[in-house]
Amino acid sequence: MTQNQKQIKTPHVVFAILIVLLIASTLFSGRKTWGMGDVDLVLLLALDVSASIDAREYQLMREGLASALSSVQVAQAVGAGKSGAIAINVMQWSGFQEQEVKIKWTRVSSREDLLNLSEQVRRMPRRYDGGATDIGGAIEFSRELVNSAPFITVRKTIDIAGDGPNNVNRSPAFERDITVNSGITINGLAIIGEAVTLVDFYTRFVIGGNLAFVENARDYDSFETAMHRKLLREIGSLYLF
């Protein structure tokens, strides 16, 4: 090989190496920035805090969620997954454009992680008081949160918990269909009380997607048990009660 050939080849080799390094750097930095690790489930917990829920009922809902998250069975279910971790976000919703994240995306992979998350839930203040019930708005807001979650997963679920049917804005079925078509499952926790047809409403207009279901609580005193059962079912545990 002549000296001229070496001079021509060297820039090409250097350029090729730079391209490879650039691609590797982009992939690595993208994973580091976007991905906070693999999880078996991305779970958005959306809690109704509309006018139909009084202060005592909100406390029972908050304490019920905290207790369910801190259970040994939930920790065992999380640990039994392929990645041994799930990601959870908690938001509150009420009427039109009344949705707010209360606990940002948190990766949990141990009982200690779940206990820490449980304590955050117990300290969680109520954002809205006296608003309407916009389930469709809650689904739309939740969908955006789930789609922007910084985790790698094949299972994405929104969990709508409430004690009444939609009474403002358009039917939640519109946002439900968009969400399901994007690959997200929507489950429901219907707190029946005096709303005797609420399970049917959730079944027809709220839930959808792969293995979607409606869990029900007779009243707020039953919320903890229903939430516990629903979390185990969503995470994938065979432990049902």
DSSP state of 220: G
Q: Is the pLDDT of residue 113 over 80?
A: yes
Q: Is the pLDDT of residue 44 over 50?
A: yes
* Whole-number pLDDT of residue 35: 52
Query: Average of pLDDT values for 117-144?
Result: 97
Residue 45 lies in a domain: yes
One domain for residues 93 and 2: no
One domain for residues 13 and 62: no
Q: What angle do CA 203, 209, 210 make, to 5 degrees?
A: 115
- The residue ranking higher by pLDDT, 64 or 36, is 64
Query: Average of pLDDT values for 32-42?
Result: 72
One domain for residues 79 and 150: yes
Name which of 199, 198, 207 is nearest 179 in CA terms. 207
Residue 61 lies in a domain: yes
Q: Is the pLDDT of residue 151 over 50?
A: yes
Q: What's the CA gap between 124 and 90, in Å, rounded?
A: 10
Residue 167 lies in a domain: yes
Instruction: Report pTM.
Output: 0.84
**Quick one: what percent of the chain has pLDDT higher than 70?**
83
Q: Give the pLDDT band (50/70/90) at residue 7.
A: low
**Quick one: what percent of the chain has pLDDT higher than 90?**
80
One domain for residues 113 and 140: yes
Least confident of 126-130, 179-183, 225-229: 126-130
One domain for residues 29 and 87: no
Q: What's the CA gap between 127 and 179, in Å, rounded?
A: 25
Residue 240 lies in a domain: no
Residue found by looking up tokens 């917990």 in the block: 45
Q: Give the pLDDT band (50/70/90) at residue 22.
A: very low
Residue 241 lies in a domain: no
Q: What is the DSSP string of 1-58?
A: --HHHHHHHHHHHHHHHHHHHHHHHHHHHHHHHH---B-S-EEEEEEE-STTS-HHHH
One domain for residues 101 and 181: yes
One domain for residues 109 and 180: yes
Count of domains for the chain = 2
Q: Give the pLDDT band (50/70/90) at residue 27.
A: very low
Q: pLDDT (tens digit, 9 = 90+) per residue, 65-82?
A: 999 999 999 999 999 999
One domain for residues 182 and 80: yes
Q: What's the CA gap between 184 and 41, in Å, rounded?
A: 11
One domain for residues 57 and 28: no
* Whole-number pLDDT of residue 72: 97
Residue 114 lies in a domain: yes
Q: Is the pLDDT of residue 17 over 90?
A: no
Q: Is the pLDDT of residue 137 over 50?
A: yes
The boundaries of the domain holding residue 152 are: 36-235
Query: Average of pLDDT values for 32-44?
Result: 76
Q: How far is CA 223 from CA 1, 69, 78, 171, in A?
A: 80, 13, 21, 25
236 conformational bin, left if phi > 0, alpha if psi -120 to 50, beta if neither: left
